[in-house]
């Protein structure tokens, strides 16, 4: 049975929530399980990073620089293959 557009959108939203939970947990293995080899990642104002190995290394480095973080997802919109996420991100750094 072919999935409906609505089911696809819900699945994508669930994947995004799972992804950000892995980020909040600083779970590199979880991230690796969801990301593609050709992933393109950009964090804030930093330069873009391409490729799974490079993205995992960048996240590992970032995770070591903070004590904790929490993503509060307020909205997820999808138009065709583009997802937009409105969120509040709280981080706690080491003192």
Question: Domain extents for the chain?
Answer: 5-93
5-93 placed in CATH 1.10.3720.10: no
Q: What is the pTM assigned to this prediction? A: 0.82
3-class DSSP state of 37: coil
Query: Residue 29 is encoded by which pair of tokens?
Result: 């293995």
pLDDT digits (tens, 9 = 90+) for 52-84: 999 999 999 999 999 999 999 998 888 887 778
The mean pLDDT of the chain is 88
Q: Across the chain, which distance is largest between two alpha carbons, in Å? A: 54
pLDDT digits (tens, 9 = 90+) for 34-48: 999 999 988 778 899
**Whole-number Å distance between alpha carbons of 54 and 22:** 17
């Amino acid at each position: 049975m072919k999935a409906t557009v609505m089911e696809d959108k819900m699945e994508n939203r669930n994947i995004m929530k799972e992804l950000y939970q892995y980020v909040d947990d600083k779970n590199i293995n979880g991230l690796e399980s969801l990301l593609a080899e050709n992933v393109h990642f950009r964090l804030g104002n930093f330069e873009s990073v391409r490729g799974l190995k490079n993205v995992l290394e960048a996240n590992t480095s970032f995770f070591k620089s903070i004590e904790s973080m929490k993503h509060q997802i307020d909205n997820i919109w999808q138009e065709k293959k583009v997802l937009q996420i409105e969120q509040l991100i709280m981080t706690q750094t080491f003192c």
